[in-house]
Amino acid sequence: QSALTQPPSASGSPGQSVTISCTGTSSDVGGYNFVSWYQQHPGKAPKLMIYDVSKRPSGVPDRFSGSKSGNTASLTVSGLQAEDEADYYCGSYGGSSHWVFGGGTKLTVL
């Protein structure tokens, strides 16, 4: 299975909103409502931010939201803050008990 496609970088100023896309196929992103997003700061482990396309785990600020249309999922970070600067990865169930991730997007807060 191929990795999901994410833009390598994204940026925004404090207070602005930024959206990161994640494109797959009908066999993964488009076929299931099981897209998740992970935040990873340098040298740290990834942290779950969004699951099942748009649900937030307890403790994740509501500035983070997720959506999906067809084979493309999106993560939107509203009201950007300095601590949001990190790498973001999307993941999806790929069927047949397999999982696939995106290549990651480096979010820079200007």
- Binding residues vs another protein (CB under 8 A): 3, 32, 34, 36, 38, 44-48, 51-52, 57, 89, 91, 93, 97-104
Residue 80: what are its φ and ψ, rounded to 5°? -50, 140
Nearest CB to another protein, comparing residues 13 and 57 = 57
Both tokens of residue 25?
A: 């196929």
Q: Which residues contact 33 (CB under 8 A, 6 or more apart)?
A: 52, 53, 68
Judging by beta carbons within 10 Å of its beta carbon (0-12, 13-18, 19+), is residue 63 exposed, middle or buried?
Answer: middle
Query: Minimum distance between the CB of residue 76 and another protein, rounded to whole angstroms?
Result: 18
Pick between residue 46 and residue 61 the one whose CB is nearest to another protein.
46
What's the min distance (Å) between Cβ of 51 and another protein? 4
In angstroms, give the least distance from the CB of 81 to another protein: 22
Closer of 5 and 76 to another protein (Cβ): 5
Cα–Cα nearest to 62, from 50, 44, 48, 45 = 50
- CB 87 → another protein: shortest distance, Å? 9
